[in-house]
Amino acid sequence: MAYVVLEKNSGPAFARNSALKYASGKYIVFLDDDDVFLPNHLDVLYGAIQRNPGFFVYSDAIHIAENIDGDERFEVARELRYEHEEFSLERLHVENYIPLNTFACPLHLIVEVGGFDTGLSGLEDWDFLLKLSAKVPFLHVQEATVEVRMRLPTDSGALRRSEQAFDNYPQLYAEIYSRYPFLESCDVAEARSLVMSYLVEKDHNKISGLEDWLKNQQLSPQQVSIMKPMIEAAPSARIAFFIKIDDFAKQRSALLDSISSIFACQFLSVEVFLISDERFLLSDYPCVKWIVSSQAEMSAVLLSSLRELDSDWFAFLECGEKILEEGIVLGLLQACCQSGVSVFYGDTLYAESDAPVALALKSGFNLDMLLSAPCLNSNWFFP
């Protein structure tokens, strides 16, 4: 192992180029200091190289959002980002969807393309990949072998380099697009135009934090006027919410929070079922329905209630969980417009009385990930 000490922090491109001067192996892999190679990483890449000589091979990465407190890391969310099948050169000319830590590259090719561009304030890994794509065919191995850890923004005021790069994205994307024109594809040109429009608009409407971002997600009166008749016309748009009560005395306040969020919906058609071993008085909400059963018979009684349900969709909530109508409406509209949809779900916000709101982003549906992390199946809506 060689430990290269640099006089100052000149960015990741300079650090990688400096280390490459000491490299003597045939293939080079990269690993950022807070990321992790899974045990299968090198074996998977080596096997792919042996089976496909002459190819640039890369795998998939699981992205983990986390908070750091001292020496402790607290995982907030994980997702298999950039999920895809075969490599697409067109997509690479629109966005970088190949994380740096997922590939193995022949050293002679790195030298041939000149390494990483130290003149870029960000996206130097994307620039590097685009240079390589003109020299060698790419091969994607559909297997997650890396964990990429992303620290959530803090209120400390000190911006990390990656956060500073986000602010420069309009200029950086424009520079990448000008360096690598893709004239043979109208689709690439159109996609690049959409990306630049989004980045410029986002740059002009910067949001200071998660609270501001949430406010920005709320439906405008114009959007409400458009979506309301669409929901009313949807053939299957009534939702039943089931809430299980374990200790009414302790959970009463949290239960009322959940129920009030449901009945506050502007244009969702809803009904509420409370599951308990006895019935309690809820004078504020006489319209709620009760499913009363002993714990031993609860599953059978609940299954029977689902069979007799008049609603088109149903979901389970924990006491204290609140629904956000905007997200449910968008999911419901998409589900009603597509045949054969068996479930829809969205992201989750976590809010504590003495802590800031945290956002947990869920990945696209992945059975293997669901089996390994059952918590991902919370707040799903079933037909």
pLDDT digits (tens, 9 = 90+) for 285-309: 888 888 888 888 888 888 888 888 8
- Burial letters 192-230, b for 16+ CB under 10 A, else e: beebeeebeeeeeeeeeeeeeeeeeeebeeeeeeebeee
Q: What is the CATH number of the domain that holds 96?
A: 3.90.550.10
Is residue 136 scored above 90 in pLDDT?
Answer: yes
pLDDT for the residue 159: 44
Is residue 135 scored above 60 in pLDDT?
Answer: yes
Q: Which residue has the tokens 């003597």?
A: 24
Could you tell me the pLDDT band of residue 144, with boundaries at 50, 70 and 90?
Answer: very high
Query: What does the DSSP assignment read for 56-124?
Result: EEEEEEEEEEEEEETTEEEEEEEEETT--SS--HHHHTT---S-GGGEEEEHHHHHHHTS--TT-SS-H
User: Of 89, 123, 158, which residue is a domain's last?
Assistant: 158
pLDDT for the residue 112: 92
Query: What does the DSSP assignment read for 231-281?
Result: HHH-SS-EEEEEEE-S-HHHHHHHHHHHHHHHHT-SS-EEEEEEEESS---
**CA 49 to CA 43: how far, in whole Å?**
10
Same domain (yes/no): 142, 231: no
Same domain (yes/no): 131, 230: no
pLDDT for the residue 243: 86
Q: Would you say residue 248 lies in a domain?
A: yes
Q: Would you say residue 249 lies in a domain?
A: yes
What is the rounded average pLDDT for all residues in the chain?
79
Q: Which residue has the tokens 């298999």?
A: 80
Same domain (yes/no): 152, 224: no
Could you tell me the pLDDT band of residue 374, with boundaries at 50, 70 and 90?
Answer: low
pLDDT for the residue 137: 94
Same domain (yes/no): 27, 153: yes
Could you tell me the pLDDT band of residue 221, with boundaries at 50, 70 and 90?
Answer: low
pLDDT for the residue 195: 80
**CA 325 to CA 303: how far, in whole Å?**
26
What would the mean pLDDT of 79-92 be, rounded to a whole number? 88
Reading phi first (left if > 0) and then psi (alpha if -120 to 50, else beta), residue 311 is in beta
What would the mean pLDDT of 230-236 be, rounded to a whole number? 62
- Please name every residue paired with 75 in a beta bridge, in sequence order, or none if there are none: 66
pLDDT for the residue 156: 47
Q: Would you say residue 21 lies in a domain?
A: yes
How many domains is the chain partitioned into structurally? 2
Same domain (yes/no): 230, 88: no
Q: Would you say residue 193 lies in a domain?
A: no
Q: Is the pTM of this model over 0.75?
A: no
Q: What is the CATH number of the domain that holds 241?
A: 3.90.550
Same domain (yes/no): 352, 221: yes
pLDDT digits (tens, 9 = 90+) for 19-60: 888 888 899 999 887 889 999 999 999 999 999 988 999 999
Q: Would you say residue 237 lies in a domain?
A: yes
pLDDT for the residue 208: 52
Could you tell me the pLDDT band of residue 157, with boundaries at 50, 70 and 90?
Answer: very low
CA geometry: angle 194, 126, 198, nearest 5 deg = 20
Q: Would you say residue 5 lies in a domain?
A: no
Q: Would you say residue 188 lies in a domain?
A: no
Could you give the count of Cα atoms lying within 13 Å of 166 in the half-sphere of its Cβ?
A: 8
Query: Domain range holding 68?
Result: 12-158
Same domain (yes/no): 227, 154: no
What would the mean pLDDT of 325-340 be, rounded to a whole number? 68
Same domain (yes/no): 130, 263: no
pLDDT for the residue 129: 95
Structural contact between residues 270 and 239, judged by C-beta atoms closer than 8 angstroms = yes
Same domain (yes/no): 360, 238: yes
Strands 289-292 and 313-317: unpaired
Q: Would you say residue 256 lies in a domain?
A: yes
